[in-house]
Structures are given as C-alpha cells and as structure tokens.
C-alpha cells in the first residue's frame, strides 16, 4: 500500500490548524511545528488567578464560514461549540456623551438613529442593504475563491463587480451617502479596525462588516474564542495531525524550485512533500527564506496597525461595562492619521473594552471581573522614535479617565489585582508579526485578491501559505477561508485525492 504524502505546516495559528486538518482529511500525513507552547497564534488565551482572557480576537463572526470548516472535517460545529448571540452587539460611546447600542432590533435602531438625525434610519436600511450585496458578491466572486492569473482576476466578468463593490471608493466617504452626522459615520465605520485598517483608506466594500454583525450576528463561544481553537485542534489530532510545540523554525532549506526541509532552532529537520507557512508571511520571506529581493518588496507594502493591550484581573464587578464596548475619539480622523501616518498613539485614543463575564461567568472568579482593553496604535517604525512605555502609560490613563467620566467608574485602579500588557513589541517577539502589525498586511485595492501575496510561492512550487497576510486576508473567518483555498490549491496542483466540494459559503452567496 502506497504511503501517504507528507505535509509540514509552520505555525499553529487558526489557519495552520485548519489547513493541517483539511489536508489530513484528504489523505496527508501532517506535522505542525509551533513556536509557542500551545496552538492558537494570536487567537490564544491567558489564564491567571481564575481570570480567563482571549489574547486577540473576541468577536465570533460569519458563523456559516465556521460551520463549513467543521463540516469539511466531518464534524458538526454545534457538537463542539456553545455559541451565544451578543445583542446589542456593542455600546458605542462618544466623547460628547452620545451613546448608541448597535442591535439587530430594527425598532430600537430606528429610535436611536432618528434621535440623532431625522433621516438616519432610512440611510441605515440602505447602508445595510449595500453591505448585504457586498458580502454576497465578495464571498462568491473574490474572497471565497482562488485566482491563478491577473487576467482571471480582472476578467470581463469580474471587472463590473469591482465597481459594484465600490473597491475604488473609501469606506468613510461612502457613508456620507447614507448619514450626515459625523458620529453616525464613525459608528458604522469603526469596524474597519477589526482588520487593522483606517476607514479613510479602507475600500467601501467593507460595509459588509456591519451587515454581518447586525444581520448574521456577533456571537461568543462559551469558554472564549480559544474554545474554537481547542475544538479545531482536537479534530485535527483525531484526523492524525501531529503537533510539536516549542519548536520555532529557523530556516527553510531550498534547492532549485523545491523546499527540501525545514529546520527548527534545536537542529531538528523535517522533510515533506509539501510545506505550508502559517507564520506571518512577510516574516517567512524575511527570516526563513533566502529571497532578499522578495523580502524587501514585502517590507515596502502597507501594513495594518498594531495595538496596546491591557488584560486586567479585577477583584470587583462593574456591571455597567457591557460585553463589547467601544469608546470613540472626538477627532475621529486625526486619531487615524496619528495611527496610520505617524505610527504612534493618537492624542485622544479610541479604545475597546471586552468584559466576557457578562456572558460567560466562568471567565472570572465569583464577584470579580475580567477586563480586556484594546487601544489601536501605529505599528513599529524604525524611522521614528517610539516611546512605548510613555504610550502605554498615556493609553492607560485615557481608559481610566473615560470610564470615570462616562460610566462613573472612579475606583478601577484600586481594584486591579494584576495587569498584563502587550505592545507592538510583544506582537513582534511572541508571534513573529512583522513590524508588530497585529493584523498582518493591510487591505487596499492593491493588496487584495490576486494583487495580495499569493498562497503558493512563485519559485518554490511545494511551498504554500495560509493566514492573514496571504489571499484572501485577515480576520478569523477569512483566515478559515484561506485554509480552505490553500488546501484546494494543493489538492488541485498535487493531484492528491480531489478538490473539496464547493463551500456552503459560496452556495449561500448564490441563494
């Protein structure tokens, strides 16, 4: 009996786990090499003194994409995850005192929006309808498929769709068609930060984000986002995938047009028929491969922002803090300019607070709270002086001041038992994220679709990529799509088994 083809996956982020599992399901013998002590990458967790924190993503979006992943692996998502819908999805706080609760309850949205702007509700309905169109077209025609040539991407059938998706328009400017009040424009564009983007630069295509939240829901898996990582890892292991932890790869050895093996820092070598890089793609080109010219090209591309994170174990409950809370800066545009042009902390930072114990009491000890704070900030930039200690201090003081002013929380400092802080340096050192950019390469017209780094190396024909910085892009459900697309390409090109059936995502998009 012929032996199984072998695959080596570098990195056990969600893209690496899902790709490994799909390959194993299709007959490969798969080994995953992970730098850290456990799987998950940025979608990891911290557990300390009874407090459980998700490190990175906290929003479970696009559940049908997740469901397709589980189905492709022969499983049902409901057997592994206990999902709870979060509605209202957020409380949004503005510096002038206005508060909005974004919700799928249309009546409540109408009352809130018309209290701000008389015609805003009509604009909102049109905006969500546009988001629905963008979502369905994107998944079916762009995000949910591979492109093998520039002509295929800019085909006569695709070109009109690029204009329908408003890919050449800017998201914030596009909202002016639907809302006049600057605060409402902010409320329906801040979601670009999920992708580490500025709404002033992001394509207007991303109105699809608001559609997915309000129409399909923001969900929370009991046990935290890391419960999804644990579930997929268990499934992968059941399919025969072998995970090796504390095994950072130091080099990819190549010869001609092939990768021969990868070598870890302890000198162990792992050979295979194919290799999948799930570490940050620019890092792989810069640190693991010999192609310096390609690494320099990637260095010149646009990168997403980074974040300052506070993980606070608190010995008191603060019920006024909802599950998801967004605090927006008064000068919205200036804050993004400081992040994306000056690569620093805005003078008046916006921030996000996550309180998982509102939904999952096990996230904190009884009578206590687990608070996660995310403050967007510029990525690392060797050309400018970046005093991260000073920025961390100023970010922390901003959070305290606004929680006191807008929620009456004046004793939080005294009740923080411990604080864990992440900066762009942490993202770079712990997760090998180039420039400490927490979301990988950016998304603009020139860095999406076929114009984004491809999911197979141009020279080394058995080296593939899955993750945020390759096609189709960043965000957990999109990285799951990356795993599917990369697997499909491997199976197509290597002639192993057969290409998987079209995903339920694409099917749903054509309904």
For 239-284, write each residue's pLDDT tens digit. 999 999 999 999 999 999 999 999 999 999 999 999 999 999 999 9
Is the pLDDT at 11 greater than 60? The verdict is yes
Q: SS in 3 state form for 467-506?
A: CCCCCCCCCHHHHHHHHHHHHHHHHHHHCCCCCCCCCHHH
Render pLDDT for 466-493 as a digit per residue (tens, 0 to 9): 999 999 999 999 999 999 999 999 999 9
pLDDT score, position 82 = 98
pLDDT score, position 195 = 87
Report yes or no: 19 and 481 within 8 Å, Cβ to Cβ. Answer: no
Is the pLDDT at 509 greater than 50? The verdict is no
Residue with tokens 């608070």: 371
Band (pLDDT 50/70/90 cuts) for residue 303 is very high
Is the pLDDT at 504 greater than 70? The verdict is no
Is the pLDDT at 214 greater than 60? The verdict is yes
pLDDT score, position 130 = 97
DSSP 140: I
Residue 212: name the closest of 65, 360, 83 by CA. 65
Task: Give percent of the chain above pLDDT 70.
Answer: 96
Mean pLDDT in residue range 11-29 = 98
Neighbouring residues of 207: CB distance < 8 A, sequence distance ≥ 6 = 127, 130, 131, 134, 171, 174, 175, 188
Band (pLDDT 50/70/90 cuts) for residue 496 is low
Mean pLDDT in residue range 87-96 = 96
Residue 119 token pair: 């015609």
Question: Among positive and negative, which fits the CA dihedral 55, 59, 63, 68?
Answer: negative
Residue 307 token pair: 């974040």
Neighbouring residues of 13: CB distance < 8 A, sequence distance ≥ 6 = 39, 40, 41, 42, 43, 278, 279, 467, 479
Report DSSP letters for 25-66, one per residue. Answer: HTT-EEEEE-SSSSSBTTS-EEEETTEEEESS---B--HHHH
Q: What's the mean pLDDT when you consider all of the chain?
A: 94
Name the packing angle between helices 226-238 and 14-25 (round to 10°).
30
pLDDT score, position 131 = 97
SS percent in the chain: helix, strand, coil, step 5: 40, 20, 40
Give the residues across from 4 on adjacent strands.
Answer: none
Is the pLDDT at 511 greater than 80? The verdict is no
């Amino acid at each position: 009996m012929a032996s199984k083809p072998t695959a080596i996956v570098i990195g056990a982020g969600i893209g690496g786990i899902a790709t490994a599992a799909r390959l194993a399901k299709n007959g490969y013998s798969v080994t995953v090499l992970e730098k850290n002590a456990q799987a998950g990458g940025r979608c990891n967790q911290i557990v300390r003194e009874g407090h459980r924190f998700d490190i990175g993503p906290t929003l479970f979006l696009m559940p049908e994409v997740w469901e397709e992943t589980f189905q492709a692996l022969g499983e049902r998502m409901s057997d592994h995850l206990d999902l709870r819908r979060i509605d209202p999805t957020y409380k949004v706080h503005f510096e002038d005192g206005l508060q909005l609760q974004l919700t799928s309850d249309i009546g409540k949205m109408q009352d809130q929006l018309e209290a701000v702007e008389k015609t805003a509700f009509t604009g909102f309905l049109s905006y969500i309808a546009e988001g629905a169109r963008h979502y369905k077209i994107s998944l079916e025609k762009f995000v949910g498929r591979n492109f093998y040539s520039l002509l295929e991407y800019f085909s006569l059938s695709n070109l009109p769709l690029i204009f329908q998706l408003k890919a050449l328009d800017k998201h914030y400017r596009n909202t002016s068609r639907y809302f006049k009040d600057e605060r409402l424009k902010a409320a329906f564009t801040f979601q670009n930060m999920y992708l580490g983007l500025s709404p002033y630069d992001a394509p207007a295509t991303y109105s699809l984000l608001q559609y997915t939240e309000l129409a399909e829901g923001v969900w929370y898996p009991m046990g935290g986002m890391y419960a999804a990582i644990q579930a997929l890892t268990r499934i992968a292991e059941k399919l025969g995938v072998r995970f090796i932890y504390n095994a950072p790869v130091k080099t990819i050895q190549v010869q001609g047009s092939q990768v021969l093996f990868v070598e870890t820092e302890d000198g162990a070598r792992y050979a295979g028929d194919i290799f999948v890089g799930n570490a940050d793609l620019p890092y792989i080109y810069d640190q693991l491969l010999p192609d310096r010219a390609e690494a320099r090209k990637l260095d010149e591309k646009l990168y997403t922002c980074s974040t300052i994170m506070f993980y606070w174990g608190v010995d008191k409950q603060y019920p006024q803090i909802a599950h998801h809370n967004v605090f927006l800066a008064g000068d919205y545009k200036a804050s993004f300019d400081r992040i994306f042009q000056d690569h620093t902390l805005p003078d008046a930072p916006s921030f996000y607070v996550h309180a998982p114990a509102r939904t999952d009491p096990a996230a904190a000890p009884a009578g206590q709270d687990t608070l996660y704070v995310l403050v967007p900030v510029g990525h690392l930039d060797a050309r400018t002086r970046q005093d991260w200690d000073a920025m961390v201090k100023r970010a922390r003081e901003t959070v305290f001041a606004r929680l006191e002013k807008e929620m009456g929380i004046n004793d939080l400092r005294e009740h923080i038992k411990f604080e864990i802080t992440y900066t762009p340096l942490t993202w770079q050192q712990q997760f090998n994220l180039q420039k400490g950019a927490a979301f990988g390469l950016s998304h603009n017209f020139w860095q999406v679709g076929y114009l984004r780094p491809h999911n197979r190396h141009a020279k080394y024909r058995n080296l593939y990529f899955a993750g945020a910085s390759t096609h189709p892009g960043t965000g957990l459900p999109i990285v799951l799509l990356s795993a599917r697309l990369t697997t499909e390409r491997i199976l197509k090109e290597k002639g192993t088994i057969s290409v998987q059936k079209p995903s339920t995502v694409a099917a749903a998009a054509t309904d």
